[in-house]
């Protein structure tokens, strides 16, 4: 697998490029949620609805969390776009022994309090209108390999056009506050949050 590397110039360029892309293609970005700094590494669990998802999470990190950003990419894609490797990207290769190594490496990254790891627990791109998503087993493996306390945050990305040429991006986030940090409990609470966000957006847009 390819582990994350950091080059300050490439990372800075990637951050500025992300902000520019969002300004060009979206009418407005609304970030909705509250965050209390706990000086712990962050595991950011997000719905996976489009090519844009990583950029949206990076915007949230830049605006709110201000952490060292890390994200998983399929190995063949990361090799084609190797510059992402120098901006926090690391690889995963599905249906191989390397998959377990990548998930263990994710737990290693979550030992450092200044790190944030973006993870898509559903494992594939699905419609934003699904009010329930099924988590794949990757998250369970990460949780099993954790050796320290972390902050788990839920993110839900939704877009709406209405009568505008460009969509408005709604980024909802919420800290997982459950005392039981098991795979199934996190999945259950994420889906409660997802449904809440969908309902709130309906109320805004009706």
Structure tokens at 172: 């909802």
**Can you name the CATH fold of 8-205?**
Glycerol-3-phosphate (1)-acyltransferase (3.40.1130)
Rounded to whole angstroms, the Cα distance separating 180 from 176 reads: 10
- SS3 state at 1: coil
Confidence of residue 98 (pLDDT cuts 50, 70, 90): confident
Percent of the chain with pLDDT over 90: 84
Report which DSSP code applies to 161.
Answer: -
The residues with which 157 forms a beta bridge, in sequence order, are 171
**Whole-number mean pLDDT of the chain?**
93
Give me the residue spans of the domains in the chain.
8-205
Which of 25, 20, 9, 47 is closest to 155 using CA atoms? 47
Residue 133's CB is within 10 A of a number of other CB atoms, namely 20
When pLDDT is averaged across residues 59-63 and rounded to a whole number, the result is: 97
Q: What is the pLDDT of residue 93?
A: 86
Percent of the chain with pLDDT over 70: 99
pLDDT tens for 126-144 read 988 888 999 999 999 999 9
Q: Are strands 168-175 and 151-160 parallel, antiparallel or unpaired?
A: antiparallel
pLDDT tens for 137-182 read 999 999 999 999 999 999 999 999 988 999 999 999 999 987 678 9
Q: Are 70 and 116 in contact (CB under 8 A)?
A: yes
Confidence of residue 27 (pLDDT cuts 50, 70, 90): very high
């Amino acid at each position: 697998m390819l582990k994350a590397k950091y080059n300050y110039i490439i990372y800075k360029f990637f951050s500025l490029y992300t902000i520019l892309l969002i300004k060009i293609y979206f009418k407005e970005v609304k970030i909705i949620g509250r965050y209390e700094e706990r000086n712990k590494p962050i595991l950011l669990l997000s719905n996976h609805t489009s090519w844009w998802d990583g950029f949206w999470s990076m915007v949230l990190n830049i605006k709110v969390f201000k952490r060292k950003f890390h994200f998983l990419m399929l190995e063949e894609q990361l090799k084609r776009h190797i510059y992402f490797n120098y901006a926090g990207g690391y690889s995963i290769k599905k249906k191989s022994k390397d998959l377990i190594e990548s998930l263990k490496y994710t737990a290693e990254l979550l030992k450092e309090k200044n790190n944030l790891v973006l993870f898509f627990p559903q494992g594939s791109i699905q419609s934003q209108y699904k009010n329930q998503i099924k988590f794949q087993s990757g998250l369970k493996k990460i949780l099993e390999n954790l050796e320290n306390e972390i902050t788990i945050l839920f993110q839900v990305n939704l877009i709406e056009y209405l009568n505008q040429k460009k969509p408005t991006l709604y980024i909802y986030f919420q800290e997982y506050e459950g005392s039981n940090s098991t795979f199934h409990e996190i999945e259950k609470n994420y889906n409660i949050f997802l449904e809440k966000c969908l309902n709130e957006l309906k109320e805004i847009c009706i």
